[in-house]
Amino acid sequence: MLPVLAAAAAIAFVVLAWIGYEALAREFEAELVEDGTRSLDRTADMARVWFERYSALAPIYARDPRVTAALEAPGDAALARTLNRELEAWNGLAGTTDTYVMNRDGTTIAASNWEEAHSFVGRNFAFRPYFRDALEGRLGRFFGLGTTSGLRGYYFGAPVRDARGIIGVVVVKIAITPLEEDLRLGPHQAFFTDEAGIIVVAGTPALRLKRLGEIAEAERARIVETRQFDGATLGPAPVAAAGSWLDGTQQLVRAPDDSGSGTAHRYVDLSRRIETLDWTLHVLADTAVVNRRMTSALLTGGAGALALLTLASLLWQRRQRLVERLRHRERDRLALERRVAQRTAELTAANARLEAEVAERRNAEESLRRTQSELVQAGKLAALGQMSAALSHEFNQPLTAIRTYSENAIAFYEAGAGQKAAENLARVLRLTERMAQLSKHLTRFARRSQDDVTPVDLDAVLSDALGLLKGRIERAEAEVRREGDAGLAVLGGAVRLQHVVMNLVGNALDAVPADRTPQIRIALRRDGGEIEIAVEDNGTGIAPEALPRIFDPFFTTKEVGKGLGLGLSISFNIVKDFGGTMRAENGADGGARFVIRLPAAGTGTREAAE
């Protein structure tokens, strides 16, 4: 009976041991999957935070007025040099790899590496997807090898806009090496694959730029078109399928460990798609942990089968392990929360600094706008002061004639010569109309201009400006010719355009030497959707060294006391506010020639650009 009982007990022990073994194995396997899933969550959150920290840089850079100015004036070398230095400074402060600006055809006009041997300046990257996405108004994202440097990086591309629409793209490239270093700090191996199944980011160097399977023809064509991995050998990754776990719910793979020894282990492959990156995150949980734990459990269980004390010790050890796991989970959770909070605070502070800088620059532009308006008004009042002698003559001469004609009319009336009296009174009416017209010109000119941009009749602007300068023109015995199309209208402000014309004509009178008769030519013509106004004199022209600085504030070629050097600078900014351009050059006959191009008048009203 005893042997039977012993055999039954042995069989029961074996059955219970086998059931316990299977249950314990499934528990350890489930715990490994659970731990790997938590690691998957933490790694996904870390990657999202890491990329979001840089995603705001390109849109912020795209709003900088220096970027817009360089794109709007592609031939201006000075603007390009200034933007190169600014991009270099931004790149250093943000800790990014490269920062550069491309025009609408994809050619780089400025870059942070402008002084390096592999500078991007002049290179065309229109084939990159981030460029095409940005031209369509979206934030472009792209991972690939640099075609110039050959280094891996992640690119953000943002559209640059002005009043006409998208005029270029700002690109920020970041190195992914710091992200890979963070991946190596995790408890499990982790890597990212793109839509083609290529491992683009991995904590283990042996896995980088390897493919998990065969690349589809469509994906291979896309890689070639975008030159995503130009020159790289995309060999097969040392990762192979090795069965499944937990009733087929989990995939097992065999892959080398991250020690660099080349030893292959069996891992549970846990994956999740990261939508913002179009990547899939893989976390490999080493099954050797379960084997080690099972061995330990079997040894402990075998010892526990010998005595209750051993069993109690086993239960206590298991409780301690559970407590330690809970503590480990809590430490991981708290560490992740601290890390996320720290990085969020850093990103918030950086955004606040950038927003403060943008607000400061907007305030500076508004102050500059107000100062420019005050300078325009002061310039008009100064012009009125310069014309005071001529205006006195313009008013005194008609007044004297009015007095004479009035006395004659009284004498003729008393003598009964009514016809003669009526003729003298008619002359008085014509003279008063002349004085009223001159007074109306002066009133319009002295009035403070508004910022609205509306259709303006160029013939009326030129007539008023030349009417106010009539006395000065007559004293200089100058010849002023108006040529070209009549009845043209532009978008602008009548009073401010009148100030620009008076400034250019006045400068032309000053530029002609005393031994010549001033000859000033004003030509108007329509060129597509723009109107061109050219003012040309027969003076000595502009010295070559003065041409690049002709529109700078306080730059003047006149003698001391005859000008502050603000007239052309103010005129240049007035034309720019109206959405036009202004340039200075020397005419074919040697004199100075100033050319203004303004949008032709259409419908609607808009506010002058800041």
393-437 per-position pLDDT tens digit? 556 656 766 766 687 778 777 788 778 778 777 767 765 765 665
Choose among 49, 48, 39: nearest CA to 329.
Answer: 39
Q: pLDDT > 70: what percent of the chain?
A: 84
Q: Exposed e or buried b for every residue in 448-482, given b needs 16+ CB within 10 A?
A: ebeeebeebebeebbebbbbbbbbbbeebebebee
Structure tokens at 392: 């006195």
d(CA 188, CA 336): 16
For 143, phi and psi rounded to 5 degrees? Answer: -115, 135
DSSP letter for 608, please.
P
d(CA 51, CA 176): 10
Alpha carbon separation from 484 to 394, 468, 523, 531, 533 (Å, rounded):
30, 22, 5, 11, 9
d(CA 262, CA 351): 44
With cut-offs at 50, 70 and 90, classify the pLDDT of residue 603.
very low
d(CA 46, CA 183): 9
Alpha carbon separation from 429 to 399, 403, 412, 426, 554 (Å, rounded):
11, 12, 17, 5, 46
Helix, strand, or coil (residue 582):
strand
Return the beta strands (E) in 211-294 as ranges: 240-245, 250-256, 264-274, 279-286
DSSP letter for 547, please.
G
d(CA 241, CA 552): 70
pTM for the complete prediction? 0.48
- Give the pLDDT score at 607: 45
Q: Exposure of 283 by Cβ count < 10 A (0-12 exposed, 13-18 middle, 19+ buried)?
A: buried
Neighbours of 438 (CB within 10 A): 18
d(CA 91, CA 289): 44
| Rg, C-alpha atoms of the chain | 41
- Give the pLDDT score at 126: 94
102 forms beta bridges with: 108, 169
H or E stretch including 190? strand 189-193
Averaged pLDDT of the chain: 83
As a whole number, mean pLDDT of residues 546-560 equals: 75
- Give the pLDDT score at 443: 60
As a whole number, mean pLDDT of residues 45-67 equals: 93
Helix, strand, or coil (residue 226):
helix
The total number of residues written for the chain in this structure:
610
H or E stretch including 360? helix 308-386
d(CA 576, CA 579): 5
Q: Residue 153 is which amino acid? A: G
Q: Are 429 and 392 in contact (CB under 8 A)?
A: no
Encode pLDDT of 566-592 as tens digits: 778 888 888 998 899 999 999 888 899
Show the CA angle centred on residue 587, arms to residues 585 and 593, nearest 5°: 50
Please list the alpha-helical segments (H only) found in 170-277: 177-184, 217-226
Q: Are 140 and 41 in contact (CB under 8 A)?
A: no
d(CA 71, CA 313): 76
Which CATH superfamily, name and number, covers 448-610?
A: Histidine kinase-like ATPase, C-terminal domain (3.30.565.10)
Q: Are 540 and 511 in contact (CB under 8 A)?
A: yes
* Assigned CATH topology for domain 57-175: Beta-Lactamase (3.30.450)
As a whole number, mean pLDDT of residues 68-93 equals: 93
pLDDT at 10 exceeding the cut of 80 = no
pLDDT at 610 exceeding the cut of 50 = no
Encode pLDDT of 216-232 as tens digits: 999 998 989 999 988 77
d(CA 597, CA 556): 23
Choose among 549, 544, 562, 442: nearest CA to 507.
Answer: 562
Q: How many helices, marked H, and strands, marked E, lie in the chain?
A: 15, 19
Contacts within 8 Å (CB) and 24+ apart, 15-20: 17/301, 17/305, 20/301
Helix, strand, or coil (residue 579):
coil
- Give the pLDDT score at 553: 75
pLDDT at 447 exceeding the cut of 70 = no
Q: Which residue has the higher pLDDT, 112 or 32?
A: 112
Q: Which residue has the higher pLDDT, 338 or 174?
A: 174
Q: Are 32 and 266 in contact (CB under 8 A)?
A: no
Residue in the block written with tokens 């313009």: 394
Q: What is the DSSP string of 403-466?
A: HHHHHHHHHHHHTT-HHHHHHHHHHHHHHHHHHHHHHHHHHHHHSPPPSEEEEEEHHHHHHHHH
Q: Which residue ranges does the chain devote to CATH 3.30.565.10?
A: 448-610
H or E stretch including 527? strand 519-527
Out of 155-169, 331-345, 366-380, the most confident range is 155-169
Q: Are 185 and 96 in contact (CB under 8 A)?
A: no
Q: Which residue ranges does the chain devote to CATH 3.30.450.20?
A: 57-175
For 605, phi and psi rounded to 5 degrees? Answer: -135, 140
- Give the pLDDT score at 168: 96
H or E stretch including 393? helix 388-414
